[in-house]
Amino acid sequence: MKPYHRFRHLTILTLAAMTWLAGRAIGQTPGAGDEGKRPPARVFIDSPMIPVAVLEKGLSFLAPVRSPAEAQVIVEIAPPRPGGEPVLTIKITGSGEFAGIADSLTVPAPPGRPPDELEREVLRVLRLALLRFATKTSAASRLSVGFEDTVKPTAVSDPWHFWVFNLGVSGFLNGEEVYRSRMLSGSFSAQKVTPDWKIRFGASISSSKDAYDVEDYHYESSSESRSATGLVVRSLDDHWSAGVLLQLGSSTYNNTAFRLAPQAALEYDLFRYSESTRRQLRFLYAIGPTRIRYREETIYDKTRETLWSHMLSATLEVKQPWGTVSTSLSGSQYFHDLSRNRLSLDANVSLRIFEGFNFNINGGGSRIHDQLFLSKGGASLEEVLLQRRQLETAYDYYFSVGINFTFGSTRSNVVNPRFGSGSGGISMSFSM
Amino acid sequence: MRRFPRVLAAPAAGVLLFLGALGGLRAQAPPPPQTADIEALKKTAPRVFLDCSSCDLEFIKTEITFINYVRDRNEAQVHILVTSSETASGGREYTLTFLGQNEFKGINDTVHYYSAATFTEDEIRKGLVRILKLGLMTYVVRTPIASRISLRDEGPPAGPAGGTDKWRSWVFSVSSQGYFRGERSVGGSSWGMNVSANKITTDIKLRLGFTADFTRDRYEYEGTTYRSRRESYDFSGLFVKAVNDHWSIGFALAADSSIYSNLKFRVAPAPAVEYNIFPYSKYARRQLRLLYKLQFEAVSYHEETIYLKTQEKLFSESLSATLDLREKWGTITIVGSGSHYFHDFSKYNLNFFGVIQLNLLKGFNVYAGGGGGRVHDQLSLRRSGASLQEILLQQRQMASSYNYFVLFGLSYTFGSIYTNVVNPRFGSIGGGGMSIIIN
């Protein structure tokens, strides 16, 4: 035990030394991240036809200079060539730190076009074409681009009429001396999403297998699931939608050999759907029958049954400067026995209490009285520990809470890639 | 974070390139609009492939409506590659690389957007939209829809910009998380905290961090309750000094304790040197870093090890190579590393990891990856055996002389190339995509 106190000491000493070294390392070289401090780009305009003063006034996000030698950006506006196309040619050349940037544009200048109209047009084109220089200087922070027209997103020429098809396969295998696992999956989907319709059909199949081998103990488990889903939604107005849902599938986890559940549904959004990226509060009601066949006889002595049920859910999603809220409350119930029901709440909230201090909570819980599929045979110890079977329960919950406080030099834009920056992890996600 | 871009090259490219060449890249600036039908203008708006996994795409599509979004890189006139790196202050630097294609071939640009650690998601997405709009103007100005764009300049700010940094680049962070779950026969909780202090400039990098984690689980089976417990403490320090655009030197210090790994206490100082074959300044798109480390370790164990030790002092060396490439046709990440102890050269460890994502053919996305290791340096293994539940719940490290994983995926998408529409009804639906995130 004793020698390790010495090492702890060493740790603290080394820390102190590192901190001291860091304090001395000043006089850094400027690098990326300093764009916000660069003064506006110096521009020189050569225009025999249009008064330079007019153009300079319109280009307020650049700094005009009197000679090409001082300039970082040179703009040359040439009049139509005799006998050539009746166009003005605008040539833009970067130099110094903008060296290598070159651009060329034309503005129609038919004989008889009023000079003031031509002037406005050249200035309009120049302002947009020269923006790329402003994005690399402090001027970027005060500029904003506007587009006031509303235009339908479907105003394109599309021979496929917005249908998109996807086929995918994926696999993951891993192992070591005492453990092996394998996961394979395949999927197909066809979808069409327009402002009026949302149609999606998908099918997927996946199988997984795990095996443990420790001395004379050997255990293998596998699971398989197949599913198909369908969704057709018709937009009624900016608050209402109607749709049909279909689920078809099988799962070892849920003791289900075959399940078919078509549902009719109606949705109401308290806010307008067009505000969906900022806030939505959607109420969804669905009703329909479920046809189900079990793998093993259930604790209610059933091997197959057809049941009617309905469900109601409320989903709130808000993304504002103070944080993000995403919560959903849903309840469902079987009609043959109203006490067979389930109530679930899910919440994901991330809030900024004050600058630098964030709070987040992420969780969910259910009151469960509808596990009609539980098998009489029960589960083995391995199935319990590896979570291969859903177990009997009247509730489940999970939640995580976190706080984070960051302070200090929180506006530094330096990126230092030395010795890497990641945590070295890898994560994968497949959605089907 | 990276996501598989939906992408690729097309046979029609040659024809389009030829047309582009005829046009000589000189855009005919459009005549004044007034009566122009906005829907006709939208049809000729730039076709953009936004290659960004961390972006709020629905928000961007709602806010920027003067372009057409396509799902295939090859159909696009502008391919926007967005990469992000952590900044010294814990925020992110987004590098937006605009690559002109087809009619806009040769017109390229790079712009940056910086988000602070204190920004919320909404502030980040609004900032990205603003800079995206500015960057897109280089292309929009070449299409008729440019006539409907307005540009507003708020003028120079009143006060002097910037100021001195009283924190001298130091950033501190304290965080804590708790996690709880339960049902009748299964339950568990974990709690963790993390404290860090970082000072990062272009010249030096100093990171100090402490993490503690506690996990408890409960399983009930046939009247018996199984309980498991894990605890770990971890301190790490890193100091790096820049030598030039290819070389760095540094010093790492780790001190940790873990029930899983049978470590009661371990302290490991290690001087190190790194060489990057590409200049460090190209970090957003490519790096190939070679890192050599010489490490001393003083360890004490919870239980006697299979080598009959309760404590020991060890010297080792390690070398690792990391390749990261982000191109418009895909990404490549390959990491290889090896280490051995000096007291016994047969105690070594070799590791390899690689993932390649390619978008070479129109509509086709392929990824493949794999990794493996030869492990001959598990000096901390407990002498006593593990119980069945310790194995299944992965409560302690097991002897293994190798490990491996293989992953692959293939996705083919065809049909409509446009993805302009945002339809929030009945909630969002997955597009059947796949993603791999490598930190």
Element (H, E) at B126: helix B121-140
Measure Cα distances from A345 to A282, A324, A399 in Å.
15, 17, 11
Closest CB to B183 among A7, A395, A419: A395
> Which residues partner with B301 through β-bridges?
B263
Residue B44 lies in domain: 13-148
- Between these two residues, B390 and A336, which has the higher pLDDT value? A336
Q: Check CB contact of B181 with chain A, cutoff 8 Å.
A: yes
Element (H, E) at B21: helix B13-23
Contact A415 B179 (CB under 8 A): no
Residue of A271, A419, A427, A432 to mutate, interface with B, max B Cβ within 10 Å: A419
pLDDT at position B6 over 50: no
Q: Do A22 and B239 contact (CB within 8 A), yes or no?
A: yes
Predicted confidence (pLDDT) per residue in A355-376, tens digit: 889 999 999 999 999 998 888 8
Written as six digits, the tokens of A28 are: 């850094």
Q: Do A411 and A402 contact (CB within 8 A), yes or no?
A: no
Pairing of strands A163-176, B402-415: antiparallel
Residue of A426, A427, A430, A432 to mutate, interface with B, max B Cβ within 10 Å: A426
Distance from CA of B239 to the nearest CA of A (A): 6
Contact B287 A417 (CB under 8 A): yes
Structural domain includes residue B54: yes
Task: Give residue A223's pLDDT.
Answer: 84
Element (H, E) at A426: strand A426-430
> Which residues partner with A224 through β-bridges?
A207
Task: Give residue B290's pLDDT.
Answer: 95
From first to last of the 432 residues of chain A, give the pLDDT tens digit.
344 444 445 445 555 555 555 444 433 333 445 666 788 899 999 988 888 888 988 898 999 998 899 999 999 999 888 888 889 999 999 998 898 888 899 998 888 888 888 999 999 999 999 999 988 888 888 898 999 788 888 888 889 999 999 999 999 998 888 888 999 999 999 999 999 999 999 999 999 998 888 777 788 888 888 999 999 999 999 999 999 999 999 988 888 999 999 999 999 999 999 999 899 999 999 999 999 999 999 999 999 999 999 999 999 999 999 999 999 999 999 999 999 999 999 999 999 998 889 999 999 999 999 998 888 887 777 777 777 777 788 898 998 999 999 888 877 778 888 887 643 344 444 433
pLDDT at position B18 over 70: no
Residue of A20, A123, A151 to mutate, interface with B, max B Cβ within 10 Å: A151
Please give the backbone phi and psi of residue A150, each rounded to the nearest 5 degrees, phi first: -100, 130
Task: Give residue B13's pLDDT.
Answer: 34
Closest CB to A428 among B186, B298, B436: B436
Contact residues on chain A for B404, CB-CB shorter than 8 A: 173-176
| A-B contacts at Cβ under 8 angstroms | 548
Predicted confidence (pLDDT) per residue in B153-195, tens digit: 887 665 444 557 788 889 899 999 999 988 887 888 999 999 9
The C-alpha R_g of chain A, in whole angstroms, comes to 33
Measure Cα distances from A141 to A145, A367, A384, B21, B151 in Å.
12, 51, 57, 35, 13
Predicted confidence (pLDDT) per residue in B282-335, tens digit: 888 889 999 999 999 999 999 999 899 999 999 999 999 999 998 888 889 999
Please give the backbone phi and psi of residue B229, each rounded to the nearest 5 degrees, phi first: -145, 135
**CATH code of the domain made up of A236-405:** 2.40.160
**Of the listed ranges A378-392, B24-38, B421-435, the one predicted with least confidence:** B24-38
**Residue A398 CB coordination number (10 Å):** 17
- Which residues 295-354 of A have a C-beta within 8 angstroms of B? 315, 319-324, 350, 352
Over pLDDT 90: what percentage of chain B?
49
CATH of the domain at B110: 3.40.50
Contact B281 A31 (CB under 8 A): yes
Contact A144 B151 (CB under 8 A): yes
Task: Give residue B434's pLDDT.
Answer: 47
**What confidence category does residue B14 fall into, taking pLDDT thresholds of 50, 70 and 90?**
very low
Contact A276 B406 (CB under 8 A): no
Q: Provide the residue ranges of all domains of chain A, joining segments of one domain with +.
A: 35-141, 236-405
Task: Give residue B205's pLDDT.
Answer: 92
Angle at B42 between CA B39 and CA B43, to 5 degrees: 95
Structural domain includes residue B138: yes
Please write down the HEC assignment for all residues of A159-207.
CCCCEEEEEEEEEEEEEECCEEEEEEEEEEEEEEECCCEEEEEEEEEEE
Q: Check CB contact of A104 with chain B, cutoff 8 Å.
A: yes
Q: Do A32 and A415 contact (CB within 8 A), yes or no?
A: yes
Written as six digits, the tokens of A82 are: 């005799």
Measure Cα distances from A231 to A153, A160, A346, B430 in Å.
22, 19, 23, 12
Please report where in the chains the tokens 């939505």 appear, as a residue. Answer: A280
Contact B68 A156 (CB under 8 A): yes
**What confidence category does residue B27 fall into, taking pLDDT thresholds of 50, 70 and 90?**
very low
Mean pLDDT for all residues in chain B: 84
Cα(A165)–Cα(B72) distance, rounded to whole angstroms? 13
pLDDT at position B280 over 50: yes
- Residue B241, C-beta contacts closer than 8 angstroms, at least 6 positions apart: A21, A25, B203, B204, B248, B249, B250
- Between these two residues, A141 and B431, which has the higher pLDDT value? A141
Q: Is B18 helix (H, G, I), strand (E, B) or coil?
A: helix
Torsion region of B427: left, alpha or beta (phi above 0 gives left; psi -120 to 50 gives alpha) = left
Tell me the mean pLDDT in the region B193-214. Answer: 92
Helix A115-129 and helix B121-140, axial crossing angle in degrees, nearest 10: 130
Alpha carbon B403 to chain centroid, angstroms: 24
Q: Do A325 and A317 contact (CB within 8 A), yes or no?
A: yes
Strands of B302-329 (E only): list them: 311-327
Q: What is the pTM of this model?
A: 0.79
Domain count, chain B: 1
Distance from CA of B344 to the nearest CA of A (A): 23
The reply to whether A236-405 shares the fold of A35-141 is: no
Instruction: State ipTM.
Output: 0.80
Fold designation for A35-141: Rossmann fold (3.40.50)
Structural domain includes residue B350: no
